[in-house]
Amino acid sequence: MDSRSNVVVGYDETEESGFALRWAAAEARLRMLDLVVCHCWRLPYSRHALGPEIDLEPIVQRMGGRLLKRGVARAQALEPSLTVRGRLMAAPAYEALMDKSHDAALIVVGSHENDSLPVGSTALQLPAHAQTPTVIVRRASARYRRVVVGVDESPGSAEALAFAFEEAALHRTRLQVVCGWEAAAGGAGGEAARDEVEPGSAWEARIERAVAPWAEKFPDVEFSKSLILKDPRDALLEASETAGLVVVGDRGNGGVRGLLLGATSLAIIHHARCTVAVVHERRTPR
């Protein structure tokens, strides 16, 4: 079990954050951790725009406190055995939750339900900067469906694999290990492309080696490996249609140095049809 002390969820009383709260509360119970419900408040106008005679800060802060109290009560009602704490912070949600990520087992936020998240949103910024896995909850997710994890040979992929096995074990569900491979992405084609997905190929052997220690650590997890001749993004998005959770690393082998999130993780955050977990390569293995 993770040595960090709690599960942190961002809550603002929207429907999306309500789904995140429910997911986070159940996760905290399974991990036997406390749940920290965070609400971040900000003034709707700058002090300069309001003028010295208008002081909205105490009013907005009180409103935020009441909202947070309702969120804590809701989480406690969902999981009565859970220890639930509230944190009210005067900061942008992304900054406050990132700060909380240093001692959290994972950070949970809600997701927009359209096909594109606005650049700069909390759900996009947190996976790039948080010091712990970030879970972005989709309302349509069936929580106890199978877990899907995307793998290559990158450090982030190794951490994603560890997290995915742990999630499958916690929820007693199946795990599908997906390796999407496209000739253009691998710099080869023709016979080389066909060789990569043949049973017993060198690529399959590498994936087998990556999976082996986690299969040994979690012997009760039923898992399968899928080597798919598709762009990794397409392979994982297709798998997300029938999954409860898709797990990806922050940047794969094709990631460009200097970018905080790779193309695959960004595509999954934007377009997956289920809940998504993004695992940072600097995450300390359990």
Domain residue spans in the chain?
1-137, 140-286
Q: Which superfamily is assigned to 1-137 in CATH? A: HUPs (3.40.50.620)
Poorest-pLDDT segment among 10-24, 36-50, 163-177, 214-228: 36-50
Tell me the three state secondary structure of residue 71: helix
> What is the percent of the chain where pLDDT is above 70?
76
Task: Average the pLDDT over each of 8-17, 40-49, 166-175 and give the range with the smallest value.
Answer: 40-49
Average pLDDT of the residues in 55-60: 76
Residue 71: predicted pLDDT: 97
How far is residue 77 from each of residues 7, 21, 66, 138, measured CA to CA in Å?
17, 11, 17, 21
Rounded average pLDDT over 170-185 = 81
Same fold, 1-137 and 140-286: yes
Other CB atoms within 10 A of residue 221 CB:
21
CA separation, residue 155 to residues 91, 138, 208, 280 (Å): 32, 26, 16, 9
Instruction: Give Cα 77 to chain centroid, integer Å.
Output: 24
Two tokens, residue 143: 């929580």
Q: What is the pTM of this model?
A: 0.83
Residue pair 67/39 in contact by the 8 Å Cβ criterion: yes
pLDDT of residue 227 exceeding 50: yes
Q: Which of 31-35, 58-62, 93-97, 142-146 is predicted least confidently?
A: 142-146
pLDDT tops 80 at residue 165: yes
Q: Which residue has the higher pLDDT, 192 or 13?
A: 13
pLDDT at position 4? 66
Provide the pLDDT for residue 115.
Answer: 44
Distance CA 240, CA 145 (A): 10
Query: Is residue 148 pLDDT above 90, yes or no?
Result: yes
Question: Does residue 157 register a pLDDT over 90?
Answer: no
Closest C-alpha among 119, 99, 107 to residue 33: 107
Q: Bridge-partner residues for 7, per DSSP?
A: 35, 106
Range scoring the smallest mean pLDDT among 7-21, 41-55, 143-157, 216-230: 41-55
* Strand partners for 149: 177, 247
Q: Distance between CA atoms of 19 and 188, rounded to whole angstroms? A: 43
Confidence of residue 246 (pLDDT cuts 50, 70, 90): very high
* Helix ranges, 172-201 (H): 183-186, 191-197
pLDDT tens digits for range 113-127? 544 444 347 777 787
CATH placement of domain 140-286: 3.40.50.12370
The reported pLDDT for the residue numbered 184 is: 46
